[in-house]
Homo-oligomer: A and B are copies of this chain.
């Protein structure tokens, strides 16, 4: 089954020192910077395996890129993510869960599942000034 390779441990170790969601490539670069020698494909493969086994939390960004981080809460929960820095807060919304189910059932849907992600600017990036200072163009996709 699952083996304990230097690379896999290194990936888990790197993730354990990260708070926010990072992309596979960011994680790979981080590791390279830390002196680890791991192939990018290996990072991808492991992130896939680890998230499949529930050890990682996956978040699909607006552009389809997958972001990973170590699970804090293995149950069903949602994320509040800072668009600027990736800072993430997990939260539960029990009322939401039940009303989603209710709406779905009203329309004859069963076996219901949903995805909810909230994006915003955290307290460190919430001023319009800060934003304007860094970006000249403001009309990018997203």
Contacts and interface: CB of A to CB of B under 8 A. Distances in A.
Nearest to A142: B113
B113 A115 contact: no
A111 B123 CA distance: 11
A interface, by DSSP: helix, strand, loop or mixed?
mixed
A83 to B, nearest CB: 8
B110 A120 contact: yes
A100 B142 CA distance: 18
A114 B104 contact: no
Contact of A114 (B63, B109, B119, B122): B119
A89 to B, nearest CB: 5
Contact of A80 (B64, B80, B107, B126): B107
B118 A103 contact: yes
A108 interface: yes
A93 B104 contact: no
A41 interface: no
Contact of A65 (B64, B95, B108, B111): B64
B93 A108 contact: no
A100 B121 contact: no
A117 interface: yes
A88 B120 CA distance: 27
A40 interface: no
Interface string A17-61: 000000000000000000000000000000010001000000010
